[in-house]
Amino acid sequence: MSKIPDITDTEKWAVRSTLDERWGKDKVDLEVVDVEARLSKADRELTECPALYWEQGDCHFVLIKTGESAYRTQFYYRNREQYGTGIHEYENIGDCALSLLRLQADHELKRAQEEDA
């Protein structure tokens, strides 16, 4: 059994509000899922953690709750195209979601520029 607390309605609302601001109200399906994560580099075992998952276009997003007020995040397109924000862990879920969406928007812009070049 996981020692990580479940995602609360308040946490889900914070992420939902950020998604609605980016893509429009209720344009993205936000799912509560469970994932396995290595909480520290020294851990040999994976820990089951609650997470929020959504897709937009061909991009997949995961925001993982790793503690009482601890969050990690990444977005990916394919197995070889996985990206994080460069910050190991956030203490605020709103900051985590906002950083993720900003980084992904910058990445999309860069991809579009490379395709046009």
Q: So where are the chain's domains? A: 9-116
Do 104 and 75 touch, CB atoms closer than 8 A? yes
Write out the two tokens for 71: 């969050």
| Least confident stretch, 27-31, 38-42, 61-65 | 38-42
* Mean pLDDT of the region 75-104: 93
Distance CA 82, CA 64 (A): 15
From residue 71, alpha-carbon distances to 13, 53, 58, 97, 113 in Å are: 15, 13, 23, 9, 31
Strands of the sheet containing 70-76, edge to edge, are 31-37, 47-56, 59-67, 70-76, 82-83
Q: How many percent of the chain have pLDDT more than 90?
A: 74
Does residue 46 have a pLDDT over 50?
yes
Summarised one tens digit per residue, pLDDT across range 1-24 is 458 999 999 999 999 999 999 999
Distance CA 103, CA 23 (A): 15
Specify the pTM: 0.90
| Least confident stretch, 41-45, 73-77, 82-86 | 41-45
Q: Give the DSSP H/E element, type plus range, for residue 116.
A: helix 93-116
Name 33's bridge partners.
Answer: 51
